[in-house]
Chains A and B, each alone.
Chain A
């Protein structure tokens, strides 16, 4: 399968713990996006990378959130000191050119208890 891959698929963590998610984009896609989706809502933009450069961050991305894409391939999203409000589906997408659209992974479901 050469689609976007996210790991883990599910994560349950206690409030205050740190969590890290990984996204492997489609091979040779230079753009990588992170979105967050809560129940009954559409995905909300968090941040995106072109190659290893982080080009934009949403105001939703508080200082507890950090994303990296060190070699322009896979990306990680870390949430420090998790809060119950962080519970959501975290979606990753990649694109070679937005004229061709974006392709999403299966998401990581985070539950903070």
Chain B
């Protein structure tokens, strides 16, 4: 059974700092991996999708990397802003079917 872990569960950093969020998964036979953002009481907003054959994807200040062999992905946020405060979830997609989620990292950017 695929298990997805995100550490730390919560993170607070001063505005302007660069930061890295971590995601690990137990079964490397993933189809792809997707990072989401969730604001309190809201749904999920897709940030980045990395295909299993890719090593990284970039969108603006966000960069996600994938190392299938070690079962890890990271989400790098450059020059953090208070608006980046949210919960960040990673999900692996198995067999072109469904997503399995981690428990998320709650990020707070301190102005």
Residues of A within 8 A of B (CB): 4, 6, 33, 35, 40-45, 48, 55-56, 89, 91, 93, 97-107, 109
Contact = CB atoms under 8 A, between A and B. Distances in A.
A88 to B, nearest CB: 12
B57 to A, nearest CB: 11
Contacts of A43: 44, 89, 91, 99, 101
Given A42-B89, A45-B99, A101-B34, A106 B42 contact: yes
Given A48-B97, A56-B97, A102-B34, A42 B103 contact: yes
15 contacts: A4-B43, A33-B98, A40-B103, A42-B4, A44-B101, A48-B97, A93-B99, A97-B96, A98-B97, A101-B34, A102-B46, A104-B45, A105-B43, A106-B43, A109-B41
A44 B34 CA distance: 15
A102 to B, nearest CB: 6
Contact of A41 (B41, B42, B43, B103): B103
Contacts of B93: 98, 101-102
B93 to A, nearest CB: 5
B102 interface: yes
A99 B104 contact: no
B31 A98 contact: yes
Contacts of A101: 32, 34, 46, 49, 93
B100 interface: yes
Contacts of B42: 106-107
Contacts of A102: 34, 46, 93, 99
Nearest to A3: B43
Interface in B80-111: 89, 91, 93, 96-104
A68 to B, nearest CB: 18
A104 B99 CA distance: 12
